[in-house]
Homo-oligomer: A and B are copies of this chain.
Amino acid sequence: MSVHNFNSGPSILPKTVMEEASRAIIDFNGTGLSVLEIGHRTPLFQDVLQEAIGSVKKLMELDDAYEVLFLHGGATTQFMQVPMNLLDNNETAAYCDNGIWGKKAAKEASLFGNVNVVADTSDRSHTYIKKDFAVPADAKYLHITTNNTVEGTQWHQYPEVAVPLIGDMSSDIFSRPADFKKFSLIYAGAQKNMGAAGVNMVVVKKDILGTIKRSIPTIMDYRKHIEAGSLMNTPPVFAVYVSMLTLRWIIAEGGLKEMEQRSNAKSALLYNTIDSLPVFTSRIAKEDRSQTNAVFFLSDPQLEAPFLDLCKKEGMVGVKGYRTIGGVRVSMYNALPISSVQAFCDLMKEFATKNG
């Protein structure tokens, strides 16, 4: 039976990335050493790190005002690290609460300064993106979650604001071109579109750093990581390596425009199928639907368990909705082939025919 991997993260990676990573664990670039046993200060790893950084800058078209860091931890680490570096005790940061991750990010920020939730979509169970809100001029920054992995919504146009914009792009990074220079800081856990779990990437505009009075623990200080070139301590070598391979694959396949075209095709196929079959129902505002994480439900809740059982039986992995939301979630990251989405849609149709 073939397996179709719709996991929300850790999630599917390109086949060629897996193959190369598997080989490198036995022999890295003909050195006779495993990639797991090379020193992180050797030219061997320097080449890996520099290629990863260069690929990010190229894909995002960043200039030298920005630095790219690969750090330990995931996006949850950044929920703390962002305000620790940017928000003084007496300052206020603006947060959009469009779902579970934005809410968690705001909660951590409240340990470091004041938090102003300028947009809250809990009134409609986070099924839309609120775009009409004001950000106080003295807010230190505005934080948004560009794609809500759990709820299935996505910002398709980034907000225009006068304060520094910060984006948690964990679940839609490198899925489409954008004007990334609108952001002063972008972060993402790697384990969706960028690689394996265990590393997070931070893109930071240098001019927002150094504006607070707090003493920052060394390992949390972006400036110290910049000085050390992401080598302040032993980095998560293998996770950085897998990110480098995945970024190389994105570029070789045609870059962000190509990723967007594939994403458009996959998500159109799935959403059209949902909309055409009354047995399924999407609660998300159409214009805010996520192209990477489609969250939907069985119109008759009694059919949810049988449908998920069928998915399991047919090798559709990771399609159960998030534990607090329920329903179905189909994640369509860069590495997911459209044939997997087609197979899933065929199964939906088969199920609809039998249960229509």
A residues 1-16 touching B (CB-CB < 8 Å): 1-3, 5, 7-13
* Copies of this chain per assembly: 2
CB distance from A140 to the nearest CB of B (A): 18
A209 within 8 A of B: no
Bound Cα distance A31, B197 (Å) = 19
Instruction: Point out the residues of chain B lying under 8 angstroms from A117, CB to CB.
Output: none
With a cutoff of 8 Å between Cβ atoms, the chain B residues found around residue A74 in the complex are: 72, 233-234
**Residues on the B chain within 8 Å of A72, using CB:** 72-74, 77, 198
How far is the CB of A193 from the nearest CB of chain B, in Å?
Answer: 12
* A196 touching B5, Cβ below 8 Å: no
Q: Which one of A37-45, A47-55, A86-94, A263-271 contacts B?
A: A37-45
Question: Whole-angstrom distance from the CB of A286 to the nearest CB of chain B?
Answer: 29
From 266 to 321 in chain A, residues with beta carbon under 8 angstroms from any chain B beta carbon are 315, 317-318
Among the listed stretches A20-28, A172-180, A254-262, which one makes contact with chain B, having 4 or more residues with CB under 8 Å of it?
A20-28
Residues in B neighbouring A234, C-beta threshold 8 A: 9-10, 74, 76, 189, 191, 197
Q: How far is the CA of A129 from the CA of B238 in the complex (A)?
A: 34
Cβ–Cβ contact A77 & B219, under 8 A:
yes
Instruction: Known A-B contacts: A10-B40, A21-B25, A79-B217. Give 8 more (CB < 8 A).
Output: A10-B37, A72-B74, A75-B233, A76-B233, A76-B234, A77-B219, A80-B219, A197-B237
A sample of 21 inter-chain contacts (CB < 8 A) reads A1-B32, A3-B32, A5-B33, A7-B37, A9-B39, A10-B36, A18-B36, A22-B22, A22-B26, A72-B73, A72-B77, A74-B233, A75-B233, A76-B232, A107-B218, A108-B218, A197-B234, A198-B235, A198-B239, A236-B236, A238-B238
